Every structure is written in C-alpha cells, then in structure tokens.
Amino acid sequence: MELYCSWRTSHHGEQPTLAAAWLCAHLWDHYEFLGDNKTEDGQSYLKQIYPILKGASEFFLSTMIEEPTHGWLVTAPSSSPENSFYTKEGSEPVSICMGPTMDNELVRELFSNVIKASQILGCDEEYRKQLSAASLKLPPFQISKDGYLMEWLEDYKKQMFTTVMCHTFMVYILGIK
C-alpha cells in the first residue's frame, strides 16, 4: 500500500497571505489583554496597530472573489493547511480550493477587529461600512452530512492519512470560541 503524506505536497505554500490575518489576530489579542496602554513612544497601542490591521483588511477586500454557487466572498486559490480532499469526480486527493473555513474565520475575525478598532478610534466610518457589508458576504459555518464542521465550502470526503508520520490539524475550528 502506498502511503500519502501531506508533507510531500506543495499546497502548504498556498497560504502565505493568510499569515497577515493570523498575525493581526495576535495584535488584537494583545490589545484586548493589555488594554490601550501607551507604547514607548507615547502613542496609543491601538492607534499604532490600526494601520496594520486596516492594511491587511484592504488586501483581503481587494483580492477576495465571489464564489459562483452562493455568491459568497472567498479567498482563492487557497487550501486548508495540510488537509486534502477528494472531489466527487476524483480518485486522487486535491488540496487547492476556494474559501476554506480557516480562511473564512481569519478574515471574519480581521474584518470584525478592524470595525471595532475604527469605532474606538472614531475614524474611517465609510470603510467600516464597507467591511460590514463584506462581512455579511463571508461564507457561514456549515455542518457536514456526518455532523462535523465542514473544512471546505463543499462536503468533500477528507483524505485520511494512514501513518503516524502524517497528521491532521483542526485549524478550521479556530473561530469557535
């Protein structure tokens, strides 16, 4: 039996842009944990990180596309980290998709944090409205026919790895708090 290990694929490189949303989540967590303390240069921490948060959200607004079936706003091309699936037609696992759940969650969190920061700082009201409208177009969480949170927009059969050298992350549950 031939073993398939996700580390032997190239789809891990499909997610460099999501790093911006992931890192911005840490900036926001820092703000929520410590409050809006002054930085060493005397600036408000939130005021200092706001351009970074906003810039990341602008990137996603400019690169996301409308998914053709539902009209959802999604990242594409993308992949769910280290997980592959089978299409209805295919016998070989694939990784590239539109709008995996992890992407949707990170972008949703980023947009939400930028909206909150904009409200707190009293700036960018028009941009806040634009982000709010875009947030409504992000795909909802979906439950598979087997009762699991779906990792992709469609209920694909997930490739199950057959060796301990390979593993499956559960990053698509990131937004469940």
Residues 35-80: tens digit of each pLDDT: 877 777 767 899 999 999 999 999 999 999 999 999 999 998 877 7
Neighbour count for residue 169 (Cβ, 10 Å): 14
Query: Percentage of residues in the chain with pLDDT exceeding 70?
Result: 73
As a whole number, the mean pLDDT across the chain is 80
Q: Is the peptide bond before 77 cis (omega within 30 degrees of 0)?
A: yes
**Comparison of pLDDT for 107 and 43, the residue scoring more:** 107
Average confidence (pLDDT) over 135-142: 94
Tokens for 33, please give them. Answer: 């944990």
Q: Please give the sequence-ordered ranges of beta strands (E in DSSP) within the chain, or none if there are none.
A: 65-66, 73-74, 85-86, 157-158
Contacts of 160 (CB under 8 A, 6+ apart): none
Its pTM stands at 0.81
Average confidence (pLDDT) over 131-151: 89
Contacts of 90 (CB under 8 A, 6+ apart): none
pLDDT of residue 108: 95
In this prediction, residue 19 has a pLDDT band, given cuts at 50, 70 and 90, of confident
